[in-house]
Every structure is written in structure tokens, then in C-alpha cells.
Amino acid sequence: MTITKLDWQRYTPPINCLNSKTILVTGAADGIGKAVTIALAEHGATVLMLDKKARHLEKLYDQVVQRGCKEPIILPVDLMDVTPESATAVAQSIYNDLGQVDGLLHNAADLGSPSPLDQYDMKYWQSVMQTNLNAPYFLTRALLPLLKQEHETHVVFTSADVGREALAYWGAYAIAYAGLESQMTIWAEELENTSNIKVNSLDPGPVRTSFRRRSHPGESQKSLVPPQAITPAYIQLFHGGLNFHGKKLAL
């Protein structure tokens, strides 16, 4: 498997480089999703903030507005409840209000309960597969007509190293992300000659988030970069110009 390192650390995003762009971020209320949401808004984007934590989204809305950015849009959606029909309803609502989507970041994730496969809790299995694999498919499919524009648009699937190289005891989480990588590749190949949509996956690596504390409880958080530090990579992807398509990217 070929992994492409994203040369983002020397990238300085131009001011308002995402002006007039509308970008949907799942898992927007916390961690990387929150940091990226703020960064996208600071560079001119209208951000559709999707998360099940409505109160957290309301606080994030206030933070974005207080920075003088465009008002984001709150989408209080629990990915566990997303079906093809409800995803279509979300897309229709966005179309009615905005008419298009220029970017989609699948960032939400469910860790589940790392354990041997023969002992894996089936409740966790279902929730991880729904959140990490099924919901991104339902949303991407529903939003596809809004992403098909005359200009370049972007779909970014957040990935993980254990989805690219499986490890024991990571269970549903690793399997779901292996499936997500395949989903990304298939979308990329099918859309390459029929649209201006660029589709890639991105493994952000170790980042100082509450999710990372749960997945690596014995790890020192002090050695990890904060999510705010890696936001230029996301701005670079959604700004375009890299000509990446169907790439498995890593920071």
C-alpha cells in the first residue's frame, strides 16, 4: 500500500482562501473536528457542523461567530441514527438553504472496545461499523449531487493507521477503517472521469484529543501535537490545487 505524506508544515493558507465555500464536517463538536471547523471558518468557509452533541455545537457556534467568521450551520445528527433516507433528508435541507456543498470531511469516529475478535461485544461492533463505515457512505451518496460542481470539490475520509495495516485486538475499529479505505478508493475511481470531485483519505496520526486518550490510555499526551496545529493540512486539502485524488494521505 502506498501512503502519500502530505507536505503541509510549510504551507501557509492564504487569508479567505475558502471564501464562498461550504464545507460539512462530521464530528465537529470536539477534537480535530472542532479545531478544523474553526480553522475553515477563519479562512472564509461556511461550515456545516454535524455532531450528536447539540450543546457542544451551540458553544462552538458562539466561538466561531465571536471570531468574526461567517455563521456556521448546526446539524445535530447522531450518526448511529443515519439511514439512506435520513441522509437524503439532510442533503435536501442543505440544498434548500445553500444549493451546494464544496467539501465534506468525514471526521466522526467510534472507537468501540478493543478486544479479541472472538470476544468482541456485538453492540460495539454494530455502533463502530455504523459510525465509521456505513454513515460516511450514506452521507457521501446523498450529498453527491450537491458536490458535483463546475469547480473542484473535495471529500476527505479520516482514516487510521490500523485501518491501513491491521493489528490484533483493534477489532471493529480497524476493520471499519479498512473498509473505509476501500470505499474511498472506489468513490475516487468511479468519480474520476465523471465529476470534479477529488476524493482522498487522511490519517492525521497521533493528536492530543480525548479520543486519543481513550485509544492509547498509557500514552503521554504532552508529546502529542494539539489538533489546532494540524489544521493547515485540512485547509490545504479543501483549498485545492494539490491535484490529489484517490490518495491515502498521512501527516
- State pLDDT tens for residues 126-158: 999 999 999 999 999 999 999 999 999 999 999
Residue with the bigger pLDDT between 32 and 212: it is 32
Alpha carbons 56 and 45: distance in angstroms, whole number:
20
> 223 pLDDT exceeds 90?
no
Q: What structural domains and CATH numbers belong to the chain?
A: 16-250 (3.40.50.720)
CB-based contacts of 115, cutoff 8 Å, min separation 6: 121, 169, 171
Query: On the CB side of 78, how many CA atoms lie within 13 Å of its CA?
Result: 4
- Grid coordinates belonging to 161: 493507521
pTM over 0.75: yes
Average pLDDT of the residues in 188-201 = 97
pLDDT of the residue at 130 = 98
Q: What is the mean pLDDT of the chain?
A: 96
Cell numbers for 147: 458536490
Which residues are catalytically annotated?
173
pLDDT digits (tens, 9 = 90+) for 235-249: 999 998 788 999 999
Look at residue 1 and tell me whether its pLDDT is greater than 80: no
107-128: b or e for each residue (b if 16 or more CB lie within 10 Å)? bbbbbbebeeeeebeeebbebb
The whole-number average pLDDT for the span 229-239 is: 96
Return the pLDDT at 240.
Answer: 84
Residue 16 has pLDDT above 90, yes or no: yes
